[in-house]
Chain A
């Protein structure tokens, strides 16, 4: 039996290494079970700045500010957080800021909490409506190449990209 968000350790460790080897030095997050390994690694790493947010939209503006200073960043959030960000995505779009957010999905494959469903269904149309690319990773093998693609699109083509770590990948939280 998979534990809650079980089986993620290997790909999450690989994902952290990938973000670091691409020069990401600012990790902004709202605490999230699906991002637990990534968040903990960023807190323990003396070479990065790890910032817990009160709301995800702070992270959008922080990542833009960090880019003004020359620092690469990532925003880690859950699907519900995407809804909190929508107007702040205007800053990313108007300024053509490179932007990568890694979103753990709730409210889709096997969801047992109905409160997660509306935003789970809303994530992709919302981010695409705000001019961002939306890439999905369904299996552990897809995670690193998808996030690498997002980082390249952001930092080489000034694009904004949401990578969705799907519920099929991370597992449904038991209720």
Chain B
């Protein structure tokens, strides 16, 4: 098991996601929401959180089941996913082909002062995803693996889970909307044409 944490999330996340415009994106609180709000300029195809910890994967699952015609990407962190890691089992029994999960694992709770998370102390979220019957899983910790990760997230015919191991460099800073109602309305208007 590799424990290399040399990748910087500010480069690795955009490189793996690529052009985000054709995706529907749900992000867990803190770092992952900042990564993706920065990449999408807090666009109308992204719903970010600053609370409801542990809810991102389930919210993305609900969206993926609702819209099988669209690719849904959940971007979350190791701490957010650990809070409701059982959701991987719920994803695993359904395996929606249009759902991809990117877990940006820096091994720490960055928002609260960089305390070590369980993944820094031997817990492997890719193995938990595998054990939860998610069909396509990978751990990415080197730059040369990024094209493969991008392909899995975009093209796999079945739910995919990428564990992206990064260093503790902070996410990009961005002023994003914290108004979940306004973001919900914008998201639905862009996708459905209704509020």
Contacts and interface: CB of A to CB of B under 8 A. Distances in A.
Nearest to A49: B65
Contacts of B67: 69-70
B51 A69 contact: no
A66 B55 CA distance: 13
Contacts of B55: 57-58, 60-61, 64, 88, 91
B93 interface: yes
Nearest to A53: B90
B80 to A, nearest CB: 11
B171 to A, nearest CB: 21
A71 B192 CA distance: 11
A70 B188 contact: yes
B5 interface: no
Interface string A41-57: 00000000101111101
Nearest to B195: A158
Interface stretch (A1-9, A92-100, A117-125): A92-100
A65 B54 CA distance: 14
Given A58-B90, A88-B54, A68 B181 contact: no
Nearest to B94: A51
Nearest to B49: A91
A112 interface: no
B1 interface: no
Interface in B61-76: 61-67, 70
A69 B191 contact: yes
A90 interface: yes
Interface residues of A, number: 31
Given A58-B90, A60-B55, A91-B59, A65 B66 contact: yes
Contacts of A70: 66-67, 188, 191-192, 194
Contacts of A67: 62, 66, 184, 188
Contacts of B84: 55, 57-58
Interface string A107-145: 000000000000000000000000000000000000000
Determine which residue in B60, B65, B187, B192 has the highest number of CB atoms from chain A within 10 A of its CB, and name it. B65
Interface residues of B, number: 37
B184 A95 contact: yes
Contacts of B60: 65
Interface in B16-68: 24, 26, 47, 49, 51-56, 58-67
Nearest to B47: A68
A158 B76 CA distance: 27
B65 A96 contact: no
A104 interface: no
Contacts of B180: 91, 94-96
Interface string A62-105: 11111111110100000000000001101100111100000000
Contacts of A87: 51-53
B183 interface: yes
Interface of A: 26, 49, 51-55, 57-71, 73, 87-88, 90-91, 94-97
Nearest 3 pairs of A and B residues by beta carbon: A69-B66, A65-B62, A62-B62
18 contacts: A54-B86, A58-B87, A61-B59, A64-B55, A64-B62, A65-B26, A65-B58, A66-B62, A66-B63, A67-B62, A67-B66, A69-B66, A69-B67, A70-B191, A70-B192, A87-B51, A88-B54, A95-B181
